[in-house]
Structure 1
């Protein structure tokens, strides 16, 4: 009998197995491939947590895999935080199937170990959880969410005492603790009533929200007088069936943006995300209803947040008077430019902008032109959060952080990407440019004229199951062992292999050490400011390859980017075929 079959038998023979999971197992018995996929491995706990398809099995999100993860987290905290029991853990959850149930299960495990938990009475955004850790001074935080994944997914993210996602060094210790739990089916818990009776569970209503909104009000660049005036700006907002409705609408009200139309069909939480193919503001189809409402109201700006409200998409009218969704890079440089325009440089000590290695180089160009230090991190906002935590000690001033995948942070009162903050600043920015007689696309053209026509793209290739994992590894092995000499007609000048921490300067035939942490990622720097980066996802069965150029004009940039894309796809398809 194979190992996955033994695991299935263990679950199948467990007499007190949850009834819904038992029903799911019975359905899987007639589909050997599906059964194998549910049990061939344990759901991996990555650098921030775990994410997977809901259902029965060790490779699925369910109450038993969640309990096992929480059991390991409890052990880690009790070993490494002497005050963990009293400081406790705050838990939030989004609108997905089983989210509140997983939050309660987490509290039941933590309660068994005497660790106090704070759980929100109803769904909340991820950035509010990040804020709550700091506001309540808890030892850690848990967010139950699968972000913008399809409805069949859910996830479990862990935050450290700074309110930022855990980094690899912390994750490794938690994983080691999780692995000491041999049987996920027998993790000890208390009943919810017992945890409540012992005073180890505190239900949170709106006290954290109120404190967050006070901090949100402080990020505005508007004058005191202007804040109080009604703004001539028509806004359309969709929370895409997620968690952002209350905080975004209240935040806009605080600044007297009174002309806000909400997409009513998408205002209510819905785990099926029934009005969109994907609840991801990166995908333009998610804006279809917002665009319809925008046309009805002649809106100046459309805002869309993903289900857990850590990503923001924005659409505005282009030169053809049609709504167009800005890329994450475009919105990022617009926000950064707006912030830089309004800071008092005489009072800002060592200002810093942080971006990831796969985010547009235009951010660095704006930083250099404005005497702001720019820092690259590995992909993932956890690394941006880690840098901000360091600034608490060094005295440097965090000014702005962003990544190409629609993640932005303006103020460090939260330590993860924050679509609520970004929605406020994007609206304010649109108002600023409207007073100048310009749209955000006009403002973007001004940036291109000043800094160059930067353009970026990304291809995401999903390869599911064990075979898919092997194909992803084959792609990475191939481009390491047989590296590109040129891509899309652009010569390779540097190869950065983050798994070995070696930077190879191909034209100078010398090597340097990469100072960032190791990661299974490879980046190629090309002539004329072009670049390419290969990176497998840490939470999904995907490999992504990113690419960017800087052309002399818009057409030149589009042609260069297309050449890169075609060259990369030809190589990757050749490997997996």
Structure 2
């Protein structure tokens, strides 16, 4: 047997008691004998909740997704629900995606809830994440769970928790739930289900969600205009195939070509290296089909159907991918225009985004005289805005990572309604003799040319986690004074909650929850944000530049210079 750190072995031995199944114990013993590095990575820490819930590699151990880590989460959540809603009949909705083990893990989670006397509404088969958010409120549940790892690699799965408002857990509930979970031992999990409390849900919720999506994503586009739009859609082997084709057809979009090779849900995602619509390679097959069919619009969604990638024809007729900021600008501007035409736009409306997204959205809000709100990365913060300001009406909002939310009937990013909205924009602009691409150029002409870039650096395992921490520490303790030839004028540190004006030498408090995010602003208007990902083993750098002269080549060169200056690998 190879050497194993005694402290680590103490944690491991807790999994070798009879409470844990024989397969789990056998796997652990094999790792002790032959794979000490794998053992350390599986046990050196417990999985944590990040920006999109809890995600991790499936396997045995505290740092893995398995029946015990999810069972402990669910037991802690059950205890917390009873504390928060004393004397009430508790209800929970549960959904799951196409990933390996999602269905079986969802059943285990349901069993723990029912074992604790909580009524469960479990989807009969895989469903989009936004439908779960919708179902929580539709069924008057106090809580919702979806088993998903979004666009992470195939070996991952995850556990997202929603509260009674349909949004993900936010302060103070998140910290309170985590404390409850951490106070438990694995042996405290009650796996003895009560089948009388388990209900299967499907068509009724599907129909209600589809109807609400069409109501929120449609804007009086004539049928003849819809008929003229050619669409290519890919679900990238994920859950969106269960809902988006149906919603488009019901909304009147009949000319939809589905990428058949990617239509079957499959947790291996066999036709792509990554099922992430942020990455151009993921939409390669859809783009090829669009060229063959002469399509106007390409849509691709991630496995749990909360993000979407969009490709449109440029001025030369070639398909070009929009980035998340561009897609967000188009959708928000279009929504504001539609509300303005209907006479429903006023100062009680608001739009929202995140601190790492394009600054252009604030300019658009000012032009339309609506409130603009900005939060940390993650749609749970936008959902919290909707909850915290009931006197305001939410129009729409998004973030640079390809997520968008139309209205507040769903309280999370929603690729179903956002796909329909993208089709409405494309159809209407085509009927006007314009295009989505030209529409974007018109917006840039009005509000200024912005260009953004994202650099993601993968750092896996315990060593990678330490390297990411060291990079963030260095950026704080040895801050840049200039970046690619432009002086740093302000630094916002969301961990300390302070913004430091380098020119004036003063500081001010940031009115936003603390988070491990650092943002540099330079003299020429550039913005560079750094943050460890809350869902993947990555550190991310978000670069935003703008040019009053609207010269795109200048902006691209600026981004390249900033990227070189960061020197991150």
Question: How high is the TM-score relative to the length of structure 2?
Answer: 0.95
Whether the 8 Å CA contact 1:494–1:503 is kept in 2: the answer is yes
Deviations 1:16-44 (A, max 9, x none): 64355345435534121111111112122
SS of the counterpart of 2:514? coil
1:190 corresponds in structure 2 to 192
Whether the 8 Å CA contact 1:133–1:163 is kept in 2: the answer is yes
Bigger shift: 472-481 or 54-63? 472-481
Is the aligned partner of 1:77 residue 2:81? yes
The one of 213, 223, 232 aligned to 2:220: 223
The one of 281, 288, 310 aligned to 1:285: 281
Q: Give the drift of 1:245.
A: 1.2
Q: How does 1:217-296 map to 2 (within 5 A)?
A: 217-223=214-220, 226-227=222-223, 231-296=227-292
Q: 1:19–1:272: structure 2 CA closer, same or farther, 3 Å change rule?
A: farther
Q: 1:228–1:220: structure 2 CA closer, same or farther, 3 Å change rule?
A: farther
Bigger shift: 339-348 or 14-23? 14-23
Q: How does 1:65-214 map to 2 (within 5 A)?
A: 65-82=69-86, 86-182=89-185, 184=186, 187-191=189-193, 195-196=194-195, 199-214=196-211
Whether the 8 Å CA contact 1:501–1:514 is kept in 2: the answer is yes
SS of the counterpart of 2:352? strand
Q: Give the drift of 1:375.
A: 1.2
Is the aligned partner of 1:539 residue 2:543? no
State how far apart, in whole Å, the 1-side matches of 2:376 and 2:540 are: 14
Deviations 1:199-220 (A, max 9, x none): 2111112111111111112124
1:380 corresponds in structure 2 to 378
Bigger shift: 136-145 or 535-544? 535-544
Is the aligned partner of 1:45 residue 2:49? yes
Whether the 8 Å CA contact 2:336–2:345 is kept in 1: the answer is no
Whether the 8 Å CA contact 1:382–1:416 is kept in 2: the answer is yes
State how far apart, in whole Å, the 2-side matches of 1:229 and 1:478 are: 55
- State how many pairs are aligned: 560
Q: 1:228–1:113: structure 2 CA closer, same or farther, 3 Å change rule?
A: farther
State how far apart, in whole Å, the 1-side matches of 2:119 and 2:35 are: 42
Whether the 8 Å CA contact 1:54–1:62 is kept in 2: the answer is yes
SS of the counterpart of 2:511? coil
Q: How does 1:461-500 map to 2 (within 5 A)?
A: 461-500=457-496
State how far apart, in whole Å, the 2-side matches of 1:462 and 1:140 are: 33
State how far apart, in whole Å, the 1-side matches of 2:494 and 2:300 are: 34
Q: 1:168–1:461: structure 2 CA closer, same or farther, 3 Å change rule?
A: farther
State how far apart, in whole Å, the 2-side matches of 1:152 and 1:104 are: 19
The one of 314, 319, 326 aligned to 1:323: 319
Q: Give the drift of 1:529.
A: 2.4
Whether the 8 Å CA contact 1:348–1:397 is kept in 2: the answer is no
The one of 433, 438, 441 aligned to 1:442: 438
Whether the 8 Å CA contact 2:128–2:240 is kept in 1: the answer is yes
State how far apart, in whole Å, the 2-side matches of 1:190 and 1:145 are: 24
State how far apart, in whole Å, the 2-side matches of 1:110 and 1:426 are: 38
5+ long unaligned stretches in structure 1: none
Q: Give the drift of 1:149.
A: 0.3
State how far apart, in whole Å, the 1-side matches of 2:324 and 2:302 are: 13
Q: How does 1:396-435 map to 2 (within 5 A)?
A: 396-435=392-431
2:39 corresponds in structure 1 to 35
Deviations 1:400-435 (A, max 9, x none): 110000000012100000000110000110111111
Q: 1:490–1:106: structure 2 CA closer, same or farther, 3 Å change rule?
A: same
SS of the counterpart of 2:394? strand
Q: 1:42–1:415: structure 2 CA closer, same or farther, 3 Å change rule?
A: same
Q: 1:503–1:211: structure 2 CA closer, same or farther, 3 Å change rule?
A: same
State how far apart, in whole Å, the 2-side matches of 1:151 and 1:555 are: 38
Q: 1:230–1:406: structure 2 CA closer, same or farther, 3 Å change rule?
A: closer
State how far apart, in whole Å, the 1-side matches of 2:182 and 2:319 are: 50
Q: Give the drift of 1:396.
A: 0.9
Q: Give the drift of 1:82.
A: 2.1
Whether the 8 Å CA contact 1:233–1:431 is kept in 2: the answer is yes
Whether the 8 Å CA contact 1:305–1:419 is kept in 2: the answer is yes
SS of the counterpart of 1:89? strand
Question: How high is the TM-score relative to the length of structure 1?
Answer: 0.94
State how far apart, in whole Å, the 1-side matches of 2:20 and 2:375 are: 43
State how far apart, in whole Å, the 2-side matches of 1:522 and 1:235 are: 40
Q: Give the drift of 1:135.
A: 0.5
State how far apart, in whole Å, the 2-side matches of 1:302 and 1:134 are: 32
Q: 1:90–1:445: structure 2 CA closer, same or farther, 3 Å change rule?
A: same
State how far apart, in whole Å, the 1-side matches of 2:29 and 2:352 are: 49
State how far apart, in whole Å, the 1-side matches of 2:80 and 2:51 are: 15
Q: Give the drift of 1:229.
A: 6.9
SS of the counterpart of 2:239? coil
Whether the 8 Å CA contact 1:130–1:159 is kept in 2: the answer is yes
Whether the 8 Å CA contact 2:52–2:535 is kept in 1: the answer is no
Whether the 8 Å CA contact 1:228–1:255 is kept in 2: the answer is no
1:338 corresponds in structure 2 to 334
Deviations 1:147-174 (A, max 9, x none): 0000000000100110001113211001
Q: Give the drift of 1:525.
A: 1.6
State how far apart, in whole Å, the 2-side matches of 1:500 and 1:251 are: 45
Deviations 1:254-301 (A, max 9, x none): 221110010111111101001110000001111111011111110100
State how far apart, in whole Å, the 2-side matches of 1:227 and 1:174 are: 49
5+ long unaligned stretches in structure 2: none
Q: Give the drift of 1:465.
A: 2.1
Q: Give the drift of 1:456.
A: 0.5
State how far apart, in whole Å, the 1-side matches of 2:226 and 2:531 are: 46
Deviations 1:169-204 (A, max 9, x none): 21100110001112x25522114xxx22xx211111
Bigger shift: 427-436 or 312-321? 312-321
